[in-house]
Structure 1
Amino acid sequence: MSQSNPQELLHLDLEHPIWERFFSVAPLVIVGTKEAEGGYDLAPKHLAMPLGWDNYFGFICTPRHRTYQNIQREQVFTVSFPTPEQIIYTSLTAAPRCDNDQKLSLEVIPVEKALRIEGIFLKDAYLVLECELDRIIDHFGENSLIAGKIVAAHLQKQALREPDIDDHDIIDQLPLLAYLSPGRFATIKHTQGFPFHQGFKR
């Protein structure tokens, strides 16, 4: 492709998915589920977000994945938000299964048991959500939206926003992990307040 003017808009071909043609910022989370035989699975997801301003959280998955199948059967799941120092653990959760259908990489990942539901989550994660399945919406192409109601939430103490602590200082002391899709990650440490217009309401 020839060098183009930075202001020039290219019209992307919609005959193919557009999302690998450019970078976009997303969270990077680890979803924990219970397996049919009684063990647990962890899997990374980046198409994930709060569903509105109430205590609901959702992510995109596919019926082909064990995560989808486990949640459909067990009706619960956990969501761990790893820190930048936990990027290797996050990568290990994406390792393929062996011939015996086990994901051996999970054996080296430190985990803790969930408190309200049957599940596990990444130890020392920045934020952990325990969710009960609210609904699954299929047919976004081959993908599905899995929506959960948060029934318990756990946050590292130094991450809690307080009136007498500047938000910048919180993020500086406990940086956030972001996924730059496709295939890159970043540590968010330096931030600035958003210039909301006077009178803005959500």
Structure 2
Amino acid sequence: MGCTDSVSPFCQLPTDKWQWHPSPLAGQIVYVTTRSDAGEVNLAPKSWVSMAAFHGPIIGFGCSRQHQTYTNATATGMFTINFPTAEQAGRAAQVADAPREFRLRASGLSLDGVRTSGVPHLRECPAYMECHLVKSVEFDGGETFLFGKIDVIAIHRELSSLPIEEAYARLAPAFFCEPGVIGELRPLTTTTIR
């Protein structure tokens, strides 16, 4: 879709997010782990995640009510958000497409223990948050946004003592921009902010 208005310096995009090109709103790619009532762990990539409140603190992510993530989180009241590096997030599409029982293998990652939530985190990811569900907001089209209180937030030990630029470089988050496009965090330089 091209711009048809030659007067305005802006090109209006359709309201359908799947048609935003380029998308001005990138979403950080995370892996959410949940556990079913039967104890089975589910892994799912998500890219609509955001802090919602300092007090709690509260974090939230978007999900479909048909997804196992929603079923597990609302049944048990728990979930863990894992923060992969750009390299680890590069497998997100394969993880999403894999049958549930093969998602962990498709990710190339492994499960580690839990501190409070009863939901394991991914050992190789540089950071994770164990959360308990505080609210689910339902939207049309079977969509929902799950809000959780962060009970535990942890980063790999070596990151906590690094200079800030190096710590973020090692966190190396990836962002879903639009179908087929993943971006990476790039440090600002004096030439980038001119």
TM-score by length of 2: 0.80
Identity of aligned residues (%): 21
Matched letter for residue 113 of structure 1: G
Deviation per residue, 1:22-77 (Å, 9 max, x gap): 22322111110112432110000001111122311100111111110111101100
TM norm structure 1: 0.78
Residue 109 (structure 2) aligns with: 109
User: Hey, what does 2:60 align to over in structure 1?
Assistant: 58
- Alpha-carbon distance, 1:150 to partner: 0.6
Q: Which residue of 2 aligns with 1:200?
A: none
Task: Report the CA distance between 1:149 and its aligned residue.
Answer: 0.4
Q: For 1:2-21, what aligned pairs fall within 5 Å after superposition?
A: 8-14=9-15, 17-21=16-20
Counterpart CA distance in 1 for 2:170 and 2:27 is: 21
Moved more, 104-113 or 75-84: 104-113
Whether the 8 Å CA contact 2:36–2:75 is kept in 1: the answer is no
How does 1:15-30 map onto structure 2 within 5 Å?
17-22=16-21, 23=23, 24-30=25-31
Query: Which of residues 150, 162, 187 is equivalent to 1:190?
Result: 187
Once residues 7 and 85 of structure 2 are traced to their aligned partners in structure 1, the CA distance between those partners, rounded to angstroms, is 34
Conserved 8 A contact 1:32-1:41: yes
Contact 1:134 1:148 in 2 (8 A): yes
Aligned Cα root-mean-square deviation (Å): 2.8
Residue 109 (structure 1) shift: 3.0
What are the Cα deviations for residues 71-109 of structure 1, in whole angstroms up to 9, with x where unaligned? 110110000000122134534431342xxxx43232453
User: Is residue 179 from structure 1 mapped to residue 176 from structure 2 by the alignment?
Assistant: yes
SS at match of 1:111: coil
Q: Does 1:33 align with 2:34?
A: yes
Can you give the 5+ residue segments of structure 1 that lack an aligned partner in the other structure? Answer: 196-202
Cα offset for 1:151? 0.7
Retained in 2: the 8 A contact 1:56–1:147? yes
- For 1:139 and 1:174, locate their aligned partners in 2 and report how far apart those are by CA, in whole Å: 32
Q: Give 1:51's aligned amino acid.
A: A
Distance (Å, rounded) in 2 between the aligned partners of 1:169 and 1:6: 44
Cα distance in 2, alignment partners of residues 118 and 175 from structure 1? 27
Compare 67-76 and 81-90 and name the one that shifted more: 81-90
* Richer in helix (by share): 2
The farther-off stretch of 3-12 and 18-27 is 3-12
Q: How many residues align?
A: 185
* Equivalent position amino acid for 1:35 in 2: S
| 2:61 partner letter | F
Match in the other structure for 1:160: 160
Q: Report the secondary structure of 2:65's partner residue.
A: coil
Structure 2 unaligned regions, length at least 5: none
The answer to whether the 8 A contact 1:89-1:109 is kept is: no
Q: Which has the larger radius of gyration?
A: 1
